[in-house]
Amino acid sequence: MKMKIVALLLGFSILLFMACKKDKFTTEPQLKFKSISPTTAIKGNIINLNVSFTDDEGDIQDSVILAYKRYNSSGGILTLDTFRLKMDPNGIPVARDGDLNVKFGYGEFITGTFFLNLESVDREVSFGLIIGDKAGHRSNYVESDKVMLKKL
């Protein structure tokens, strides 16, 4: 009987501890890579980079830092470029958590997307992302899986 009471008290204590666990949101925005599609792009495709975010104050901004990595045929990094992009403020949720979707028009100017030059050879690339909030805090860096950009 004593053993059952101890087990019940221990189980109740664990549940109470889990319920009172600290909030996982931090002052610095946190990003997590979710998806990129398509995995192979041809001229005119829209490439969608989707990440989730958390931010304790819910004050992320509409500017992002984008890293664009191009890989050579052996898988080494050929070039790494970084850009500061301004996203449509209507696409930035005013919330403590949510999703961000960055769109690229491959080889064509497509309304609502960022232009991405055509490659001269088939090339694997990946995209990295950092966001900031209104208080000047920067998020962690997240990077997409590699996608194949087909040549002209």
Look up residue 90 and give its two tokens: 């209507």
Which band of pLDDT confidence, cut at 50, 70 and 90, is reported for residue 2?
A: low
* 91-135 pLDDT tens trace: 777 788 989 899 999 999 999 899 999 999 999 999 999 998 888
Over residues 11-50, the pLDDT tens digits come to: 566 655 555 545 578 888 999 999 999 999 999 999 999 9
**Long-range own/partner contacts, residues 117-120 (CB < 8 A, 24 or more apart):** 118/43, 118/149, 118/151, 118/152, 119/70, 119/149, 119/150, 119/151, 119/152, 120/151, 120/152
Partner residues linked to 126 by β-bridges: 69
Provide the CATH number for the domain formed by 25-149 in this structure.
2.60.40.10
Domain range annotation of the chain:
25-149
pLDDT > 80? residue 69:
yes
**pLDDT at residue 19 in the model:** 54
